[in-house]
A and B are shown apart, each in its own frame.
Chain A
Amino acid sequence: DSGVTQTPKHLITATGQRVTLRCSPRSGDLSVYWYQQSLDQGLQFLIQYYNGEERAKGNILERFSAQQFPDLHSELNLSSLELGDSALYFCASSVEGGSRDEQFFGPGTRLTVL
């Protein structure tokens, strides 16, 4: 158990809908990352937050947004869902958010868009 929690574990929804994925980092970690794992794209970095502020952005679609709250939990919002958004979404956390940090991953949320 990495100490990172993600809810829900599974999510099934329809195209055009909006969903919210939630992540709680390990105790003491200030930085949160979101990654998407799909069969065609592999594991891709989406976005990083550090202590409530956006720090880095990767291949995140405009339909997706995220935030980190004062209690350091984070939410990833996916809207206008398409079939291609079906994937495993991971949240990770690290202490400082630097490039040398070990990132500890949550169990993931499997999103299925029908």
Chain B
Amino acid sequence: AQSVTQPDIHITVSEGASLELRCNYSYGATPYLFWYVQSPGQGLQLLLKYFSGDTLVQGIKGFEAEFKRSQSSFNLRKPSVHWSDAAEYFCAVGDPNFGNEKLTFGTGTRLTIIP
């Protein structure tokens, strides 16, 4: 079965600094990968997704992610964070046994922004 690992439970960065959130997946073929963000008290919002093609994917709010098959990774990046980026971030992979419509989520990384 496919799985997703987010090794960082909590990350703190200064406003204006760059950000990289790590995501590793376990799956044999080309996975369907997603990044979601959850602001406090709200549901999840899709940031970006990868299915095939260009391995560098652009998303909303200035985020991007790079698919690296050799490292089984799909790390999320942002060149300069804003205080409003403080949230919890989830990486997810589609389950091919259900047409990739069922997702397996990582445990999340909580991002804190300091002034």
Whether chain B is bound by chain A comes out as no
Residues of A with Cβ closer than 8 Å to B?
none
